[in-house]
Amino acid sequence: MLYAAEFYRWYAEECCHVLGEVATAPASGARIVVESQPIGIALLITPWNYPAAMATRKIAPALAAGCTIVLKPATETPLTAFAVAQIMHDCGVPAGVVNVVTTSKASPLSKAVLHDPRVRKISFTGSTPVGRALLHEAADQNGRQQGIAGTDDCDCRQNPTNLCKEQMHAHVSGSPTRRYLLNPDFRGEKSQSVTFCDN
């Protein structure tokens, strides 16, 4: 249990280092501000071995990021997950923040949870075939959408190439933004705000 508890200490300290970033865009000199925010509900799926440590290894970073949790332990070790959740509740974690769901039929449960739009993150440790199935299910359900928002005086229609340049410089993932929200009051003309630099 001491090993399992160590993950809470580690990620509690890591919270102090999440400061965000401010940078200057190379092409335009615009200021780029990056801030970290909770993503939403995290689905955490753990294996049968090291049931307490595998649970806390996933719970601690999700809590540190401000996410609520649905923990799905292995069928063989559900009681350890319940014990971890009870200890957290006894320590003051509010009800509904750490939730444990058990089942003897993992596939239907995982599909149902992954199709819930509130679930925004998944962490899985287990076999490769199950991991592939979860990845496929999550990709089919959620896909990857990114966006960039422009201010009211941003004239994106005049020179959409500059937006694409900014995204190419800002992203190291090689996946440029595909949708642009021109301003908070933008209505209609959706086709003009989409696919300026779609690959």
Q: Are residues 73 and 108 in the same domain?
A: yes
DSSP 77: -
Q: Is residue 77 part of a domain?
A: yes
Residues 111 and 188 reside in one and the same domain: no
Residue reference for tokens 């689905």: 43
Q: Which amino acid is at 84?
A: V
Q: Of 109, 125, 142, which one is at a domain's C-terminal end?
A: 142
For residues 54 and 95, membership in a common domain is answered with yes
**Same domain, residue pair 128 and 160:** no
121 and 150 both lie in a single domain: no
For residues 124 and 110, give the distance between their C-alpha atoms in angstroms, rounded to a whole number.
11
Q: Which H/E stretch holds residue 18? A: none
Pairwise CA distance, residues 171 & 150, whole Å: 17
Task: Provide the percentage of residues in the chain whose pLDDT is more than 70.
Answer: 70
The total domain count for the chain is 2
Tell me whether residue 67 is in a domain.
yes
Indicate if 138 and 163 belong to the same structural domain: no
Give me the amino acid identity at 39.
Answer: I
Q: How far is residue 95's CA from residue 32's CA, in Å, rounded to a whole number?
A: 37
Give yes or no: residues 91 and 151 share one domain. Answer: no
Same domain, 8 and 104: yes
Q: How far apart are CA 134 and CA 126, in angstroms?
A: 11
Give the pLDDT of residue 149: 45
Question: Cα angle vertex 114, ends 84, 101, to 5°?
Answer: 25
pLDDT-derived band at 157 (thresholds 50, 70, 90) equals low
In a domain, 181, yes or no: yes
Name the DSSP class of 193: G
Which residues does residue 98 pair with via DSSP β-bridges, in sequence order? 69
Report whether 197 contacts 174 (CB < 8 A): no
**Same domain membership, residue 138 and residue 150:** no
Q: How far apart, in Å, are the Cα atoms of 72 and each of 49, 78, 81, 99, 105? A: 14, 8, 8, 9, 11
Supply 1's token pair. 């249990």
Using CA atoms, how far apart are residues 105 and 95, in angstroms rounded to an integer? 25
Which residues span the domain enclosing 88? Answer: 2-22+36-142
Question: Mind listing the pLDDT tens digit for each residue in 134-148?
Answer: 887 777 765 544 444
Task: Establish if 31 belongs to a structural domain.
Answer: no
Confirm whether 170 is domain-assigned.
yes
Reduced to 3 states, what is the DSSP secondary structure of residue 1? coil
Q: Among 142, 157, 184, where does a domain finish?
A: 142
Do residue 94 and residue 178 come from a single domain?
no
DSSP state of 93: P
Model pLDDT for residues 8-24, shown as the tens digit of each residue: 999 888 888 888 889 99
pLDDT digits (tens, 9 = 90+) for 19-72: 888 999 888 889 999 888 888 899 999 998 999 999 999 999 999 989 999 999
This prediction has a pTM of: 0.65
Same domain, 78 and 163: no
Q: What percent of the chain has pLDDT over 90?
A: 27
> Could you tell me if residue 84 is inside a domain?
yes
- Whether residue 117 is contained in a domain is answered as yes
Same-domain check for residues 184 and 103: no
Residues 48, 34 contacting (CB under 8 angstroms):
no
Cβ(77)–Cβ(104) under 8 Å?
A: no
